[in-house]
Structure 1
Amino acid sequence: MHYRTLGGDRGPRISAVCLGTMPFGTTVDEPTSLAILDRFAEAGGTFVDTANNYACWVPGATGDESEVLLGRWLRSRRAADRTVVATKAGARPDPARGPRWPGNAEGLGATALRTAVEGSLRRLGTDRVDLYYAHVEDRGIPLEETVGTLAGFVQDGRVGTLGASNHATWRLAEARQTAAGRGLPGFRAVQQRHTYLRPRRDLSPGPQRETDEELLDYAAAHPDLTLLGYSPLMEGAYTREDRPLPERYDHPGSVVRLRVLAEVAAECGATANQVVLAWLMGGPAPVVPVIGVSSVAQLDECLAALDLVLDPYQRARLDTA
């Protein structure tokens, strides 16, 4: 396993890949979820990611499932002290806001955030979260309110480091400036959708945000900000014939990039998934991939990417395809 520091030189030490637990307890059953977590820890993995709404869109689910299962694993393996846990607030369904998600998401107001952090701590069975994200932008709430409330969680010891997910770069920068101007802890991590293929620009991403050149430039210029990329492998679409490309990535430009990706993978004796992960981790603004897997075998494939080094020529071909 390789490691780095979260949020610059003041954050906790984390594994260079983060295990996403979004489907755990819903579409990935508990025995399989626990086996994946065990294997990740055995391999030296220390960084896991969940949220207070995972996976509320699955029929019959409430959004409790991922945090509850992760909490059981942390307790049963006595792993809390050696695991950096990230969770999120802002996108959990709130029935008082309406019957349908994501239109009824709780948002980032002070009351919602206070309720959210208490709920996450209870489900995880801990008194502290290492990394706490504002999950989805909420422009209906003043930044000062969100920033101040989240900073309070750090100050009272319930949260270690703050992050933002699915935020526009300018909004992230403004929030960080707001916190700095008030002498408060600010966002030191940002998690956005990020993969090798480029998305179409004529389709709305909805509440999800892509990592774009603006964010990459911003992260490269701010070493106190760690960039994480979720859905890097597009749920298997790079390697599985039964998983077509998502519509957002299905366009003529992807044909060339997929061809070059296959060429580089063959040169390296690696899978396309492993090359994508190595490309993310080794760029000018290094990315921590948040990997989502549904089996131990899939996890092992991803972990092998940690030792894959792309040479400058291969990276240039991938970048310019």
Structure 2
Amino acid sequence: MKYRKIGTNPEQRREVSALALGAMLFGTVVEEERAFAILDRFVAAGGTFLDTANNYAFWINGTQGGESEVLLGRWRRSRGITDEVVIATKLGGRPKTSGRDVFNPEGLAPHVIRESSARSRRNLGVDRLDLLYAHADFMDTPQKDIVETFASLVRDGTVAMLGASNHWSWRLERWRSLADAADLPSYEVVQYHHTYLRARGDVPGRRTKDGDFGLFSAELMTYLRDRPDLTLLAYSPLLSGAYVREDRPLGELHDHAGTKARLTALHEVVRETGATANQVVLSWMIGGDLPVIPLVGASSLAQLDESLEAVDLTLTADQRALLDAAH
């Protein structure tokens, strides 16, 4: 396993595995026995970075979510896991009532941030959350209130690090400016959908009642290059199997002329390395000049093993140049 540091505060900075495991469907689609086996294999391979959210997975059974956090809490206790594994969670997207309505989220009002973070601590069985994200942006709450409330969780010791997911970059910069002006803790990790194929700019990303968020863009890349202290986590890097499964079409998001060139380059590197397309994509992300921590899901040990093996795949300079140059 390879590792990298996240965070800027020397007292809170953590070393995590270069590959993160997402637990979105653990406790619903992936039942406890299978989820525990996947988690055990990940940790045995040196994995130390897990990701969940307080609304996972409300859309499966029509609940308010939390099944994933609760399962991770049971796994932690049963295995005696303490601070050797970093668990990130998110708040803001939990539905206000049970159901499958994605347009009825809890949002980021100060009382919601405090109540939901406390619920996540209980679910996970921890006194302090390792990393807490704002799951999406909500413009119905003054951003100053959001920034101050998240910062208060760090100041009172119930959260170690902050993150922002699915925010426009100008909103990220406003968050940072508000925090800097008041000498408050700010976000140190950002999470977006990102993969090797480039997305169309005219197709919505993650949608909330306030708009569309979540697509990684060239503009966001320039922002991150200017902020090397930030860490980028990329969710859905393997496009739910679309790189390797003919029954999983790419869809509208990647329906543009540049996709063919990128896939041609990808398949050439697959041929040269003997690795799978998934593994080449993950290696490309992990070893890039803008390092990325891919966040992968797994519903079987075989899927997890494929991703774990990608960490040890090193692309040559020529292979990386071929992948980067394709348009």
Contact 2:63 2:100 in 1 (8 A): no
SS at match of 1:309: coil
The residue that corresponds to 1:312 in the other structure is 317
Which amino acid in the other structure matches residue 292 of structure 1? G
1:145 aligned partner: 145
Any idea what SS the aligned residue of 1:108 has? coil
Structure 1: give runs of 5+ residues left out of the alignment.
Answer: none
Question: How do 1:145-224 residues align onto structure 2 when only pairs under 5 Å count?
Answer: 145-207=145-207, 208-224=213-229
The aligned residue for residue 236 of structure 2 is: 231
Q: Residue deviations 1:146-190, cap 9 Å, x none? A: 010000100111100000000011111110111111000001000
Give 1:300 shift.
0.7
Whether the 8 Å contact between 2:62 and 2:100 is mirrored in structure 1 is: no
Is this contact kept in 2: 1:199–1:248, CA < 8 A? yes
Instruction: Verify the 8 A CA contact 1:22 1:54 in the aligned structure 2.
Output: yes
SS in 2 for 1:58: helix
2:210 aligned residue:
none
C-alpha distance in 1 between matches for 2:21 and 2:288: 20
In the comparison of the two structures, how many residue pairs are matched? 319
Q: CA offsets per residue over residues 97-141 of structure 1, 9 Å max, x none?
A: x97622110111101111110110111111111000001011111
TM superposition shift of 1:284: 1.7
* Conserved 8 A contact 2:59-2:99: no
Q: Give 1:9 shift.
A: 6.6
Contact preservation (8 Å) 2:69, 2:124: yes
Does the 8 Å contact 1:8/1:223 carry over to 2? no
CA distance in 2, matches of 1:178, 1:202: 30
- C-alpha separation in 1, matches of 2:193 and 2:138: 18
Corresponding residue of 1:22: 24
After superposition, where does 1:203-282 map in structure 2 within 5 Å? 203-207=203-207, 208-282=213-287
- For each residue in 1:219-254, what CA deviation from the matched residue of structure 2 results, as whole angstroms up to 9, or x when unmatched? 222222111100000111100122121321233321
Residue 68 of structure 1: aligned partner: 70
1:93 equivalent in structure 2: 95
CA-atom RMSD in angstroms: 1.4
Checking the alignment, whether the CA contact within 8 Å between 2:58 and 2:64 is kept in structure 1 is yes
Whichever residue aligns with residue 287 of structure 1, its letter is: V
Over 6 Å off, 4+ runs: none
Q: Which amino acid aligns with 1:235?
A: S
Q: Secondary structure at the match of 2:243?
A: coil
| Equivalent AA in structure 1 for residue 313 of structure 2 | L
Is residue 107 of structure 2 the alignment partner of residue 107 of structure 1?
Answer: yes
2:45 matched to 1:43?
yes
Bigger Cα displacement from structure 2, 179-188 vs 247-256: 247-256
Contact 1:234–1:246 (CA under 8 A) maintained in structure 2: no
Q: 1:9 to 1:3 in 2, by over 3 A?
A: farther
Three-state SS of the structure 1 residue aligned to 2:192 is strand
* 3-state SS of 1:82 partner: coil
Query: What secondary structure, in the 3-state scheme, does the structure 2 residue paired with 1:316 have?
Result: helix
Percent identical pairs in the alignment equals 53
For the Cα contact (< 8 Å) 1:4–1:15, is it kept in 2?
Answer: yes
1:91 Cα shift?
A: 0.4
Q: Deviations over 1:191-241 (max 9, x none)?
A: 000001111223222424111112222222222211110000011110012
Q: Does structure 1 conserve the Cα–Cα contact (< 8 Å) formed by 2:58 and 2:65? A: yes
